[in-house]
Structures are given as C-alpha cells and as structure tokens.
Amino acid sequence: MVRLCTEIVHKRRSKLSAMETHQKGLLQGTIFAAAVAAFLSVAISSTPKTPICTSILNGQRWLTELYLSPVRMHEQLGMAKHVFRKLCTELTLQHGLSDSKHVCAEEKLAIFLHFARTGASSRMLQERFQRSGETISK
C-alpha cells in the first residue's frame, strides 16, 4: 500500500513538473518575443527617414498648370477654372475655408475635388500634391 501511494505521489509530481516546465517555456518565449519587439521598435525609430515627397511639381504648381489648360482642369477637378475660383471664393467668404501655414485654400479645395472626381487613394493624393498623409487627411 505504501508503495502504491508513493507511486501515485511520484506520478503527480512528474505531471506538475511537466506543467511547470511547460509554463516556464511559455514565459521564456513571451519574454523573448517582448525583447525582440523592443529591439525592433528602437531599430525602426532610429532609422533615418527618407523624404518621399520630392517632386518639383507640388500641389500649388500643379494647380497653376491646370489653370493653363481648361480641358485638364475639367478632367482633374470636374469644373471649369472660373467655377473653381468662384467656389473657392464662396467657401472662403461664407464657410470658413482658409489658408493654413503651408497649404493655401485653393490647394485644399483642389485636393478635395481631385479626390471626389477620381476617387484617388490617400497615397495617390500624397504623391499628386506632394503633401504628407496628415495634411491630406485634414
């Protein structure tokens, strides 16, 4: 009888020991994953940023170019130049559209109209107007 009890206790200890070993392995894996994540976070944040909006044809210059071609103006923004200017004036005087530090009211309206006309993605608008994602999303 004593021998049977001893075997039962030994088996339970073995099971507990196996569970503890498994739990230790999980904990070590979690700690390793956290360390790798922390390392990658530091490595990515310390990488120098490469500017992507470097075209000479920024949003304001592109808009100026559209003013020279009535056909392109209508294709890209969906309206004639005089309608665009009238809409911009109306939005500025009556509805609070205004220039910001780096983007004029006309360019803001052009970004919106180009998006409405073409359905371009945020990334495509960033490229077309040479503005950051934050500026485009505003």
Instruction: State the Cα angle at 79 between 76 and 83, rounded to 5°.
Output: 140
pLDDT in tens, 33-50: 666 666 666 656 555 656
pLDDT band at 128 (very low <50, low <70, confident <90, very high): confident
pLDDT in tens, 17-27: 666 666 666 66
Nearest-10 crossing angle of helices 105-118, 122-129: 140
Q: Judge whether residue 2 has pLDDT over 60.
A: no
pLDDT in tens, 72-88: 999 999 999 999 999 99
What are the extents of the domains in the chain?
Answer: 1-47, 59-137
Query: Can you tell me the distance from the alpha carbon of 37 to that of 32, in angstroms, rounded to the nearest whole number?
Result: 9
